[in-house]
Amino acid sequence: CPWNDPGAISLQGELMDVQGDMYLKISLLLYSLYCLLAWLGLIILTSLISVANVFNTISTNVGLRRRDFGMLRSAGFREKDLLRMMNYECLTYGCKALVWGVPISLVLSYLIQAIDRGITNTEFVPPWNALLIAALCVFIVVFTTMFYAVSRLRKDNPIDAIRMENT
């Protein structure tokens, strides 16, 4: 009878240990996946709120300066000159955001890796790829928003824009 055989009991115990280890590994994997999805959801939500904030700020700023742009156009500013001015403004917005954002993110990355260093014993490696992607995203959002706001300005008659006191 295999139940009375000590070798069979030992094999059965090892099988139970393997099943327990597999259960533990699967549950740790699912927990890690759950944490990853929660962090990604938080990052995506924060990014969408930030993009909406930038879009609202820039389009409102351009809308409030509608009268000024009408005066510039009536004084001889061409469409090309207006776009050039807005491009410089976009570069200023993006660079200003990066001047603040890059050092803060490097300090936070260092602190996170310092905490992790106690567990894994690794050196600090700046996340250059992530910073490059973030910088590109900043400029894409700012330029896209600015082009949207300027496209609304193109439809305006300069004389009507000057007559408007407040939009």
Confidence grade of residue 128 (pLDDT, cut at 50, 70, 90): very high
Give the global pTM.
0.69
Q: What is the pLDDT of residues 65-88, one digit of tens each?
A: 888 888 888 888 888 888 898 889
Check whether 166 has a pLDDT greater than 70.
no
Largest Cα–Cα distance of the chain, in whole Å? 104
Check whether 11 has a pLDDT greater than 50.
no
Most confident of 67-71, 120-124, 136-140: 136-140
How deeply is 141 buried, as exposed, middle or buried, from its count of CB atoms within 10 A (0-12, 13-18, 19+)?
buried
Residue 153: predicted pLDDT: 77
Other Cβ atoms less than 10 A from the Cβ of 66: the count is 19
Q: What is the pLDDT of residues 33-66, one digit of tens each?
A: 888 899 899 999 999 999 999 899 888 888 888 8
End-to-end Cα, the chain, rounded Å? 92
Side-chain-side CA neighbours of 14 within 13 Å: the count stands at 6
Q: What angle, rounded to 10 degrees, do the helices at 79-120 and 66-74 form?
A: 140
Q: Considering the chain, what percentage of its residues have pLDDT values greater than 70?
A: 83
Reading the block at residue 166, the tokens are: 């407040």
Mean model confidence pLDDT for the chain = 81
